[in-house]
């Protein structure tokens, strides 16, 4: 076989290639984190750049930076054109400031204190004991740690807000919220999802429910934008939820907690709900079978950091049943999240 024929022969990855790619996958993710920290995506916002230009702007070693970007270009993050310049891609746009940059840095713990990597490195402990590795590493729960280390809490909040900004339009656009007069966003943080829903549905009102210190000054809600259409209520979703809502939303809440803790949260929502109210759980629904899905990887993260998990449809049904609720529908969204709908049983 000649060299030209060899180049034209389609060759898929061998089992060895697959295993080695997975074994060395941390190098790809770390490369993504470093490129994001250097702001490469923002530098390419206005057009192609040579590696010399990028190295000059970032202070990086030219040859080493080229090798980093070549690796990421092979993953579709950037692209190298025929002139040897690097150009942006749809994936690279997500790494820009104000899009998903802070979320990606959260995953890489570029602005953290090492606790993230330490816990992931202790994954074996979780596998062998069923306990969150983070608890073993830091001698306390993840959310307790964030409260005791405000700088880490702020870093975590920035990253999660970044992800939410990318997700919320998809969630708000995938479901008919207009049929509800009052939506209660339980554990709604700074009000990003609620604001997106109120913007799209001018006849809907909203209540933002979270810890008192969280809802004191919600970033995404304002009287100027939404007049008198929203209120805030401070409280603890393990103890109660505001009454009177037509729909109760729990976005990325249940996956943080054990089954027992989830049942407590759901029972509080059920107690607040009228007989015609709806519960909308916005979370990953892990599909059956061997197909790749981000929720399957996120489930490992939840195992390491908290007592939570990403759940299947069957697991959601079981949780709801223990709380006096009945799963009625699952709506997929143009994101990794689905809207799992339940009514009083």
CATH code of the domain containing 191: 3.40.50.150
What pLDDT, in 10s, does the model give residues 203-246?
999 999 999 988 888 888 887 888 889 999 999 999 999 999 99
Name residue 279's beta-bridge partners: 248, 342
How many C-beta atoms lie closer than 10 Å to residue 292's C-beta?
Answer: 8
Query: In 119-234, at which residue ranges do the beta strands (DSSP E only) sit?
Result: 182-186, 205-210, 230-234
Decide if 261 contacts 307 (C-beta within 8 A): yes
Residue 106 is assigned to a structural domain of this protein: no
Identify the three-state secondary structure at position 179. Answer: helix
Domain interval for residue 273 = 164-344
Decide if 248 contacts 207 (C-beta within 8 A): no
What pLDDT, in 10s, does the model give residues 6-53?
555 556 788 998 898 889 888 999 999 999 999 999 999 999 999 999
Same domain membership, residue 333 and residue 233: yes
Tokens of 193: 């999802």
How many C-beta atoms lie closer than 10 Å to residue 308's C-beta?
Answer: 22
Same domain membership, residue 184 and residue 91: no
Which positions are annotated as active-site residues? Answer: 255
Specify the number of domains making up the chain. 2
Q: For residues 249 and 184, give the distance between their C-alpha atoms in angstroms, rounded to a whole number.
A: 6
Same domain membership, residue 331 and residue 191: yes
Q: Is the dihedral of CA 304, 310, 315, 320 positive or negative?
A: positive
pLDDT at 146: 86
């Amino acid at each position: 076989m000649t060299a030209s024929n060899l180049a034209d022969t389609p060759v898929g990855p061998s089992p060895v290639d697959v295993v080695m790619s997975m074994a060395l996958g941390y190098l790809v993710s770390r490369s993504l984190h470093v490129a994001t920290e250097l702001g490469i995506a923002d530098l390419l916002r206005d057009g192609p750049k040579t590696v010399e230009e990028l190295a000059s702007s970032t202070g990086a070693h030219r040859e080493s930076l080229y090798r980093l970007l070549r690796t990421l270009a092979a993953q579709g993050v950037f692209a190298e054109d025929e002139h040897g310049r690097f150009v942006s891609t749809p994936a690279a746009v997500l790494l820009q400031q104000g899009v998903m940059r802070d979320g990606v840095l959260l995953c890489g713990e570029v602005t953290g204190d090492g606790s993230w990597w330490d816990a992931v490195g202790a994954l074996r402990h979780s596998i062998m004991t069923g306990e969150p590795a983070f608890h073993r590493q830091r001698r306390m729960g993840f959310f307790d740690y964030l409260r005791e280390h405000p700088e880490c809490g702020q870093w975590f909040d920035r990253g999660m807000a970044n992800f939410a900004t990318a997700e919320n339009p998809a969630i708000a656009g995938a479901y008919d919220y207009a049929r509800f007069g009052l939506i209660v966003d339980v554990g709604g943080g700074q009000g990003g999802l609620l604001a997106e829903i109120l913007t799209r549905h001018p006849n809907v009102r909203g209540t933002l429910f979270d810890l008192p210190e969280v809802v004191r000054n919600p970033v995404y809600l304002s009287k100027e934008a939404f007049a008198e259409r929203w209120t805030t209520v401070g409280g603890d979703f393990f103890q109660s939820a505001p009454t009177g809502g037509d729909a109760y939303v729990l976005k990325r809440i249940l996956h943080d907690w054990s089954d027992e803790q989830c049942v407590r949260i759901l029972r509080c929502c059920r107690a607040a709900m009228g007989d015609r109210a709806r519960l909308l759980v916005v979370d990953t629904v892990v599909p059956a079978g061997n197909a790749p899905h981000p929720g399957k990887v996120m489930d490992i993260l939840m195992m390491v950091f908290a007592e939570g998990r990403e759940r299947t449809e069957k697991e959601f049904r079981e949780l709801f049943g223990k709380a006096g609720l009945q799963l009625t529908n699952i709506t997929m969204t143009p994101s990794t999240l689905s809207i799992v709908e339940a009514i009083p049983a």
